[in-house]
Amino acid sequence: MKILFFGDIVGKIGRTAIRQVIADLKKEVEPDLIMANVENLAHGTGVTEKTLQELLDLGFGFFTSGNHIFDKPEAEVLLSRKDFPLIRPANYPLQTPGDGYKIISVGSRSLLIVNLIGRVFIKENFDCPFRKIDEILAAVDTKKLAGIIVDFHAEATSEKIAMGHYLAGRVSAVLGTHTHVATADARILPPGTAYLTDIGMVGAMDSVIGVDKGPVLKMFLSQMPASFQIPEEGEVIINAVVLTIDPQNQKVLDLTRLDRVVKV
């Protein structure tokens, strides 16, 4: 089973870049599933049905998210639809709309996808992601699955690495999102769990993590509030990974970074 997973897609410029490269990447990778973190999909904050439909039309099959998922009111409606391929972090409070994990069909096989969010350097007061993943794995019949993928949407590298070691041998992959900065530590932890601290983003290269650099620099220099904008043209960095899972034992055979730069 081969999965193509894109890091946080940021705004219209990120969606446009995906449209430019997706046909070639499908031919190159031949993925069984294409997925992405989409919490920044709609102009940098949250999602809308329209922006998600753009990706569905391109062949995307599933979406994870993070702490910005509820920035647009539409998210509550979308997450409440049991048939919609979108999840929010599982360690939100129990009454939060939506699901934190789903079992989906990939061809004839079943895949569990879990979304978690970290707590270190995160302002919101989320439940413990370590205890939450224990609850999820205890509630699911994992023996019937071809693989288990965890998107750990977290700020601190230490928390992400700790989660990788905590889940080694229990899931197929722990893949980090949130920082928008790709890391070079892709590896397979024994006995077969893929780990990466952060996939990165699909967003403007001449920016500060996808945001126009001018207001960000002003904020850092003045400590005054600034209105952030997302560039709509220029070079775009595309960060993704290709994950190959043996469906017989849920172990990862290969984890490869896929990084491109295109002009929008």
Give the contacts of 227 (CB within 8 A, at least 6 positions apart): 215
Consult the annotation and say whether 39 binds a ligand: yes
Consult the annotation and say whether 153 binds a ligand: yes
Contact (CB, 8 A) for 181 and 198:
yes
Give the contacts of 60 (CB within 8 A, at least 6 positions apart): 34, 35, 36
Consult the annotation and say whether 165 binds a ligand: no
Contact (CB, 8 A) for 209 and 201:
yes
Is 68 one of the annotated active-site residues of the chain? yes
Contact (CB, 8 A) for 99 and 72:
no
DSSP output for 109-152:
EEEEEEEEE--TT-SS-PPPHHHHHHHHHHHS-GGG-SEEEEEE
| Tokens encoding 117 | 């969010």
d(CA 199, CA 239): 6
Consult the annotation and say whether 43 binds a ligand: no
Consult the annotation and say whether 180 binds a ligand: yes
Consult the annotation and say whether 40 binds a ligand: yes
The residue among 88, 91, 59, 62 whose CA lies nearest residue 75 is 88
Give the contacts of 251 (CB within 8 A, at least 6 positions apart): 172, 191, 192, 193, 245
Consult the annotation and say whether 74 binds a ligand: no
Residue 187, beta-bridge partner list: 195
User: Which position among 12, 15, 68, 72 bears the catalytic label?
Assistant: 68
d(CA 61, CA 111): 12
The set of catalytic residues is 68
The annotation places the binding site for Fe cation at 8, 39-40, 67, 153, 178, 180
Q: What residues form the annotated binding site?
A: 8, 39-40, 67, 153, 178, 180
